[in-house]
Amino acid sequence: MSAGGGGINGTSVGGLLARRLLQLPLIVLAVYTVTFLLAWSIPGNPLENPEGRRPPPEIAEAMQKQYKLDDPVAFYFDYLGKASGVSWALGKHPVPFDLGPSLKQPDWSVNEILGTGLPVSISLGLAAMLIALSIGLVAGTIGGLRPGTTPDYLTQLLAIVGISLPSFVIGSAILMFFAVKLRAPAIGWGGETVFESLVRASFPAFTLSLPFAAYISRLVRFGMIEEMSSDYIRTARAKGLPRWKVALKHALRNAFLPVLSYLGPATAVALTGSFVVEKVFAVPGVGQHFVDGVLGKDITLVMGVVLVYSTLMVVLNLAVDVLYRFVDPRLG
Amino acid sequence: MRILLPFLLLVAALVATIALDRPLPPADLVVIERSDCYTLDPQRMSYQHELRRARVIYETLVNLRASDCAIVPGVAERWESSDDGRTWTFHLRDDARWSNGDPVTSRDFSYAWRRALLPDTAADYSALFFEIKGGRAFFEKRKALLKAFAEKAKAGGVNSADVEQLQRDTMLAFEEGVGIKTPDDRTLVVHLETPLAYFLDICAFPPFAPVHRDTVERFVSIDPKTGGYIQRHGWTKPGEIVTNGAYTPTVWRYKRDMRLERNPHYWNPDAVMADSIECRTIENPNTGVLAFESGGADWLTDLGPEYKTEMLAERRAYLERFRADVDAGLARGADLDDVVGALPPPGEGERRDARGFDAFGTDFFSFNCRKTLPGEKSNPFHDARVRRAFALAVDKQQLIDRVTRLNERVASTLVPPGSIDGYPLVEGLGFDPARAREELKAAGYEDRDGDGVVENERGARFPTVDILYSTASPRYQNLALAMRDMWKRELRVAAECRGKDSKLYKEDLKKGNFMIARGGWYGDYGDPTTWLDLQRSDNGNNDRGYSNPKLDAMLEAARLETDAAKRLAMLAECERWLFNEEVPLLPICNYVTVYMYDPSRLDGMSDHPRLEQDLSILGRRASAPTTEGAGARSPSESAQ
Looking at residue B246, its pLDDT comes to 97
Asked whether residue B361 carries a pLDDT value surpassing 90, the answer given is yes
Residues of A in contact with B142 (CB under 8 A): none
Average pLDDT over residues A308-314: 86
Is B282 in Cβ contact with A43 (below 8 Å)?
no
Looking at residue B639, its pLDDT comes to 38
Query: Where are the strands (E) in B305-407, listed by range?
Result: 354-367, 372-373, 377-378
Looking at residue B638, its pLDDT comes to 40
Looking at residue B627, its pLDDT comes to 56
Q: What is the mean pLDDT of chain B?
A: 91
Interface of A with B in 159-198 (CB under 8 A): 172, 175-176, 179-180, 183, 186-192, 194, 197-198
Interacting residues of B145 by C-beta distance below 8 A, sequence separation 6+: B166, B169, B170, B173, B227
Looking at residue B600, its pLDDT comes to 94
Beta-bridge partners for B596: B300, B354
Most confident of A71-85, A114-128, B106-120: B106-120
Looking at residue B323, its pLDDT comes to 95
Is A44 in Cβ contact with B46 (below 8 Å)?
no
**Rounded to 5°, angle at Cα B133 from B127 and B139:** 50
Looking at residue B562, its pLDDT comes to 87
Is B17 in Cβ contact with A123 (below 8 Å)?
yes
pLDDT, tens only, B36-63: 998 999 998 888 899 999 999 999 999 9
pLDDT, tens only, B195-224: 988 999 999 999 999 999 999 999 998 888
Asked whether residue A291 carries a pLDDT value surpassing 90, the answer given is no
Asked whether residue B635 carries a pLDDT value surpassing 70, the answer given is no
pLDDT, tens only, B181-201: 999 999 999 999 999 889 999
How many alpha carbons lie under 13 Å from residue B465 in its C-beta half-sphere? 27
Looking at residue B344, its pLDDT comes to 94
**How far is CA B325 from each of CA A75, B270, B336, B350, B627, rounded to the nearest angstrom?**
65, 33, 11, 16, 11
Say how far residue B372 (Cα) sits from the centre of its chain. Answer: 32
Asked whether residue B11 carries a pLDDT value surpassing 90, the answer given is no
How many alpha carbons lie under 13 Å from residue A105 in its C-beta half-sphere? 24
Beta-bridge partners for B522: B361
Structure-model confidence comparison of residues A183 and B319, the more confident one: B319
Looking at residue B630, its pLDDT comes to 43
Nearest partner of B478 among B402, B591, B412, judged by Cα: B402
**How far is Cα B308 from Cα A58, in angstroms, rounded to an integer?**
40
Interface of B with A in 443-472 (CB under 8 A): 472
* Percent residues over pLDDT 90 in chain A: 17
Asked whether residue B535 carries a pLDDT value surpassing 50, the answer given is yes
**How far is Cα B173 from Cα B138, in angstroms, rounded to an integer?**
6
DSSP-derived 3-state class of residue B467? strand
Asked whether residue A312 carries a pLDDT value surpassing 80, the answer given is yes
Looking at residue B502, its pLDDT comes to 83
pLDDT, tens only, B428-442: 999 999 999 999 999
**How far is Cα A104 from Cα A66, in angstroms, rounded to an integer?**
13
**How far is Cα B216 from Cα B240, in angstroms, rounded to an integer?**
9
**How far is Cα B559 from Cα B192, in angstroms, rounded to an integer?**
12
pLDDT, tens only, A94-152: 888 888 888 888 889 999 999 888 889 989 998 999 999 999 999 888 888 888 888 88
Average pLDDT over residues B402-428: 94
**How far is CA B101 from each of CA A143, B244, B272, B324, rounded to the nearest angstrom?**
70, 9, 18, 53
* Interface mutation target, options B138, B253, B294, chain A, most CBs of A under 10 Å: B294
A315 with A122: CB under 8 angstroms?
no
Looking at residue A52, its pLDDT comes to 61
Asked whether residue B231 carries a pLDDT value surpassing 60, the answer given is yes
Asked whether residue A6 carries a pLDDT value surpassing 90, the answer given is no
Grade residue A294 by pLDDT with cuts at 50, 70 and 90.
confident
Q: What is the mean pLDDT of chain A?
A: 83
**How far is Cα A80 from Cα B246, in angstroms, rounded to an integer?**
43
Asked whether residue B633 carries a pLDDT value surpassing 60, the answer given is no
**How far is Cα B368 from Cα A207, in angstroms, rounded to an integer?**
49
Looking at residue A10, its pLDDT comes to 52
Asked whether residue B500 carries a pLDDT value surpassing 70, the answer given is yes
Asked whether residue A219 carries a pLDDT value surpassing 80, the answer given is yes
Looking at residue A49, its pLDDT comes to 66
Looking at residue B264, its pLDDT comes to 96
The residue in chain B having the minimum alpha-carbon distance to the alpha carbon of residue A131 is B11
The residue in chain B having the minimum alpha-carbon distance to the alpha carbon of residue A169 is B286
Nearest to B122 among A66, A101, A117 (CB): A66
Asked whether residue B373 carries a pLDDT value surpassing 50, the answer given is yes
Nearest to B47 among A49, A106, A289 (CB): A49
* Percent residues over pLDDT 70 in chain B: 97
Looking at residue A54, its pLDDT comes to 67
Helix, strand, coil shares of chain B, percent, nearest 5, are 40, 20, 45
Structure-model confidence comparison of residues B111 and A269, the more confident one: B111
Asked whether residue B6 carries a pLDDT value surpassing 80, the answer given is no
* Percent residues over pLDDT 90 in chain B: 73
Asked whether residue A201 carries a pLDDT value surpassing 60, the answer given is yes
**Rounded to 5°, angle at Cα B518 from B358 and B469:** 125
